[in-house]
Chain A
Amino acid sequence: MSPLVSIEGLSVAFNGVPVLHGVDLTLQTGEAIGLVGESGSGKSVTWLAALGLLPRHARVAGSVRLDGREILGAPQASLDQVRGGRVAMIFQDPASALNPVLTIRRQLCETLALHRGLSGDAVKAEAKRLLDLVGIPDAERRLSAYPHEFSGGQVQRIMIAMALAGQPDLLVADEPTTALDATIQAQILELLSQVRRETGMAMVLISHDLGVVAENCDRVAVMYAGRIVEQAPSAHLFADPWHPYAQGLIGALPPLDGPRRRLTAIPGTVPDPQKMPGGCSFAPRCGLVEQACLRAAPRLAPLGDGRTVACVNAEASRKALLGIAAE
């Protein structure tokens, strides 16, 4: 099956400082994939770059194909067809993501007119249907309201309605629940999975909340300092991480069952993009670092059961972890 989206060697530099170093990622139709990693690891930048949404001073290289068609560097007109129509995006801070001086109707109908060619009464009916779908009560009347008249959770629902308006094949949700409180988070995630069940839409869930990703995604890619370091089906990755960084991330999560244990922290901090080490960018923080790690950044290599890991020491690292667990 040919992938819906395939990203190859995607690199981004801001003012000559590289922040993304050749990201490879493929996404099948209808699949949900989670992108996890610390702030600044390049999760959002990957998708903003893929859709041409970065500011002009960003230098983007590589390839992004949608249904086999290259969209990186595509003409504006065809990019405008892709954005909102094939690939929709929702953002972290819903309150500032909607235009404060335009009504919800205006902002929803804009997408409907652009991507569905609807007009007149059909637009209004569809806008109302979408607000009903995402659970905004009294949709008819609320269409004439402005963003500041809604709560944070409601605004994110409206953002989701706007994303659905173009009937996209892929929804990129960039930290969709980070700015919301816990109960609202759960509601928004439930809404997203309900929408996916109904539409069969693929989803990229960008988050630094591992729990959210574990529950909602088929596959997870762990990013560190502008690279994907490990990629595997969710169940495998969370049960058995191979890359030392992925192990560190998951080791920092408190287990729900079993005896209480001390949470492990990853020593050190993420390297400054201006002073990235020559070899593996995790080497300065890694307990298993050896000469080979400092020479060149390891490439993602397949290791069976759908897993790819970028670590020269993946096997040893895994054994070390299993060893600790066995003790």
Chain B
Amino acid sequence: MVRFFAIRIFRALLTIVLVVTFAFVVLRLSGDPALMIMGPEAPPEVIAAFRKAWGLDDPIWMQYVDYFGAIAKGELGRSMRDGRPAIALVLERIPATLMLTLPALVFKVGIGIPGGIYAALHRGSAIDRVVMITAVAGFTVPGFVLALVLVLVFAVQLGWLPSGGQESWRHAILPVATLGLGGAAVLARFTRSAMLEVLGQPYIRTASAKGVPWRMVVTSHALPNAAIPTVTILGFMVGTLIAGAVVVESVFAWPGVGRLLVVAVANRDLAVVQCILLLVAMTMVSSNLIVDFLYGFLDPRLRAKGAQA
């Protein structure tokens, strides 16, 4: 058991290292931060001074080593743009992002899971078809398209809701709906197919043959089994709480982590980008770890395998 989780935690750390390395390489290859921040008209000596100040004229491997050394000490660097610690810039944006992603997650779970269960239990009914058509639509329409359609309908045509900004809770409705609808569709599809798979299993027939009322067959025999695949997708959704709203924040001019990331990438503000990526990698990886723990809790067969591993 201990070894099972030790392996998983080691794998998680390795993932974080790889993500950070990848970000480092891609950002260095794709543009010079000095030119981006100082502007192309800046005199060469200013650019040289900027490079020296930020260690950009060191060999790339040395920059990489320094960068990891700093992370190990908990220093995530300063924004090249305004000189503030990158971590502070990122942390102050997190509440705004969570204001969108947390209600959206509640929406996804609250609509997607019951919708999927209902559709599975009434397979082939009119409601099942409506749920599935909605789910396919929500699944295939990209977030920015849905966002623009919602803005067109509810902000431009009907004038009920604001189209952007962060002044009141009403400003959050459209971005939350954009995030939530797509996610609810994905969850509904997954939950439905997980339920259908489980309902076709022989142990469901056994439960009915024992005289267990159908409602109890569903709640105490089918749901605990269907929860196993559903938790996987749910874990992925929890992992995107921090950075899952990049597109939506951009469309709705919402000052969250996602928009900070877009601006920082455009400016090659390395410290900020890397800080956000580190944070995203850590939330992803920790939600995956939680999913692994939950598997063990939900499925005794995996528990046994984990003990052997």
Contact = CB atoms under 8 A, between A and B. Distances in A.
Interface of A: 51, 53, 76-77, 79-85, 88-89, 91, 93, 96-102, 110-111, 114-115, 146, 148-149, 159, 162, 166
B59 interface: no
A157 to B, nearest CB: 15
CB-based closest 3 A-B pairs:
A84-B211, A84-B210, A83-B211
B300 interface: yes
B211 A91 contact: no
Contacts of A146: 300-301
B209 A84 contact: yes
Contacts of B136: none
Contact of B212 (A51, A80, A82, A100): A80
Interface string B200-235: 011101111111111000001100110010000000
Given A100-B225, A100-B299, A102-B221, A149 B212 contact: no
Contacts of B150: none
8 contacts: A53-B208, A83-B209, A100-B225, A100-B299, A110-B212, A115-B211, A148-B301, A162-B210
B210 A97 contact: no
A97 B202 contact: yes
B156 interface: no
A85 B211 contact: yes
Given A53-B205, A93-B202, A96-B202, A101 B299 contact: yes
A203 B44 CA distance: 96
A154 B211 CA distance: 23
Contacts of B209: 51, 53, 83-84, 88-89, 91
A121 B228 CA distance: 32
Contacts of B207: 99, 110
Interface size class of B (residues with CB under 8 A): 20 to 34
A148 B211 contact: no
Contact of A148 (B201, B225, B304): B304
A111 B213 CA distance: 11
Interface in B133-183: none
Contact of B206 (A77, A85, A97): A97
Given A83-B209, A91-B206, 17 more contacts: A53-B205, A53-B209, A84-B209, A84-B210, A84-B211, A91-B202, A93-B202, A96-B202, A96-B203, A99-B206, A100-B225, A110-B212, A111-B210, A114-B212, A148-B304, A159-B206, A166-B210
A101 B298 CA distance: 7
A96 B197 CA distance: 13
Contacts of A79: 211
Nearest to B211: A84
Contact of B214 (A51, A76, A89, A91): A76
Given A100-B225, A101-B299, A114 B202 contact: no
Contacts of B225: 99-101
Interface of B: 201-203, 205-214, 220-221, 224-225, 228, 298-301, 304
Nearest to B207: A99
A154 to B, nearest CB: 16
A51 B202 CA distance: 15
Nearest to B210: A84
Nearest to B303: A146
Residue among B202, B207, B210, B228 facing the most chain A CB atoms (10 A cut-off): B210
Contacts of A83: 208-211
Nearest to A174: B209
Contacts of A85: 211
Given A100-B225, A101-B299, A148-B304, A114 B211 contact: yes
A73 to B, nearest CB: 16
B211 A111 contact: yes
B294 to A, nearest CB: 13
A146 B298 CA distance: 12
A155 B54 CA distance: 68
Residue among A85, A93, A96, A159 facing the most chain B CB atoms (10 A cut-off): A96
B115 to A, nearest CB: 21
Contacts of B208: 53, 83
B211 A102 contact: no
Contacts of B300: 100-101, 146, 148
B221 A99 contact: yes
A128 to B, nearest CB: 19
A102 B210 contact: no
Nearest to B224: A101
B50 to A, nearest CB: 60
A115 B207 CA distance: 13
Contact of A99 (B203, B213, B214): B203
Nearest to B216: A110
